[in-house]
Amino acid sequence: MRQAGRYLPEFRETRAAQDFFSTCRSPEACCELTLQPLRRFPLDAAIIFSDILVVPQALGMEVTMVPGKGPSFPEPLREEQDLERLRDPGIVASQLAYVFQAITLTRQRLAGRVPLIGFAGAPWTLMTYMVEGGSSSTMAHAKRWLYQRPKASHQLLRILTDALVPYLVGQVAAGAQALQLFESHAGHLGPQLFSKFALPYIRDVAKQVKAKLQEAGLAPVPMIIFAKDGHFALEELAQAGYEVVGLDWTVAPEKARERVGKTVTLQGNLDPCALYAPKGGQRLAGPPVASALLVPQEEIRCLVQQMLDDFGPQRYIANLGHGLYPDMDPEHVGAFVDAVHTYSRLLRKN
């Protein structure tokens, strides 16, 4: 779950003090925003507060966060020669020392309470922002590159991969105990484009990060791949070198398990909008987890129970199928977390 908490009033209060990317560059602020959800909820891990777009910034692109609109690149990449504006990817990690400092500080403050997860955006997803100039419903500019400038597209994706590998290794060196790669825009690619322009770089990130960790004498950490709307590539993602495959809510858990096999851990996948559900809902049809659960529960709890039943207790991490939205009620988030803990304990007993 994307914990760092637009839905929390204390998050909004902390964030009001400075603009978004200034907050990202403040290790103390990032640490505070990472810890806030843990003060409210008994979560099983923390994910560092940062943003995937710090990597394009470190490559020399200007990125601003426009209130009510989202990220904006005043000078996006529109022509092949625009790639010459990018910095050497080898220096990106040194530009992002503030992320490493935030991770180290947060690990110290967590004092072993829960693991800390680091993350980055996958190459295709970062490319979409850099070419589109911000968010897009079609990714038409970025996909035009794939069709009209395939060589330049691969060049850009390689630059991003070469920037991401030392950045992720640096997160582990700073204290991250797991890594998640977000391919948030996988769904804009069909199977053919995904196999050509996204999957090879997803694989290469995992392979290189694991090799570089070993070279540096650092212990390996679990790696998670989350390709939103990438259900057409589940089998390929399960064999891409990651220990965990994240699922969005459009994938049936039983079908996903059949497709990825028994050796990969699955993570997900409750629809985030389920947290808008009112209290006092009825139980879903189907066998109860245990006879003790015959009393009607909140609808969120029923949905969580169904999700856990569908996934089963082995090689599974309960989560939402995407991030939390700003207008969500923290009490409903708490109901989700409590329901996961309650029903997972019962599942393990049975």
Just list the catalytic residues: 2, 6, 15, 51, 129
Cβ-in-10-Å burial (0-12, 13-18, 19+) of 348 comes to: exposed
Alpha carbon distance 226, 244 (integer Å): 9
* Helix, strand or coil, per DSSP, at residue 319: strand
**CA pair distance 8, 26, nearest whole angstrom:** 19
CA distance 29 to 242: 30
Distances (CA, A) of 286 to 59, 270, 301, 305: 52, 18, 14, 10
Q: Is the peptide bond between 319 and the residue preceding it cis, with omega within 30 degrees of 0?
A: no
Element (H, E) at 268: strand 265-270
Q: What is the DSSP string of 100-116?
A: HHHHHHHHHHHTTSS-E
On whether the CB atoms of residues 37 and 3 are closer than 8 A, the answer is yes
